[in-house]
Amino acid sequence: MIHHRHLSEGSRGIGMTSHGTRDRLVSRLREKGIRDERVLAAILNTPRHAFVDEALSSRAYEDTALPIGLGQTISQPWIVARMTEALLEGGSLDKVLEVGTGSGYQSAILAQLVKEVFTVERIKELLRSSRKLFHELRLYNIHARHADGHVGWTTQAPFDGILVTAAARRVPEELVAQLEIGGRLVMPLDRGSEQRLLAIRRTEDGQETEDLGAVVFVPMLSGLA
C-alpha cells in the first residue's frame, strides 16, 4: 500500500510555483524515462522552490541540481525520481532510512510515498532548516537526526529501504546490515573515474546488485559538522 499525503504549502504555493511550471517538469521527467506515476505525482505535489534559496527559486523547476550552501546541492529532480522509483520497485515500503537529508527535498518526496521516513544529516545547519520545512509542510512522518550517515540509525533498524544521497567509495556494510531481508539500498558508488547508481537487495545469503547507470553526487563524508 502506498501512503499518499497532500502537502500543506502554507504561503509558499504562489507565483512561478504554479502547477503549470511543475507540470512541465513532470513532463520532462516522463520524457527521460520515469515511469512510476506515484513518484511523478509526489514531484508535482512538492514545492521544490521552498527547498532552495530565494535567489534561485525561479530555477527550482528546472531539471537541474542547485547549490544549497555549505558545499552541498539539492539533487536534480530526475535523479530524485529515479532513486525513489528504484526504491519502490522493491514493493510497498513502511519504513525507509535516508542518508543525507540535505535540503530535505528527497525526504519530502519519500514522505508522501512511504509510512515513516528516518533521515540523518551530518551538517547541523542543513538539518535545522530542513526540519523547519518539514514542519511547515506538515510532513509529520519524517524523523530527522544529526548523525554520521555511515552508521545509519541502528535503534530504528531494520528498514524496508535505504536511500543514500552522497557517493561512497564502498558499500557501507553497516547500512546493508540495517536492511530487512529483501530490502533495497539505493546509492551512488564512486568507482574512481565515474560514479554508478546501484540498487542492492539484501538476500538470505548476501546481496544482489543492479547497476542503474552513471550519476554525479557530492562525496559521502564521515563525522559531524
Residues acting as catalytic residues: 75
CA max distance for the chain: 53
- Reported in sequence order, the residue ranges of 45-167 that DSSP labels E, i.e. its strands, are 66-69, 72-74, 95-99, 116-121, 142-146, 159-164
Burial zone of 138 (CB within 10 Å; 0-12 exposed, 13-18 middle, 19+ buried): middle
**SS3 category, 121:** strand
Q: Distance (Å, rounded) from C-alpha 220 to C-alpha 150?
A: 8
Burial zone of 39 (CB within 10 Å; 0-12 exposed, 13-18 middle, 19+ buried): buried
Q: Distance (Å, rounded) from C-alpha 50 to C-alpha 134?
A: 11
Q: Distance (Å, rounded) from C-alpha 99 to C-alpha 107?
A: 10
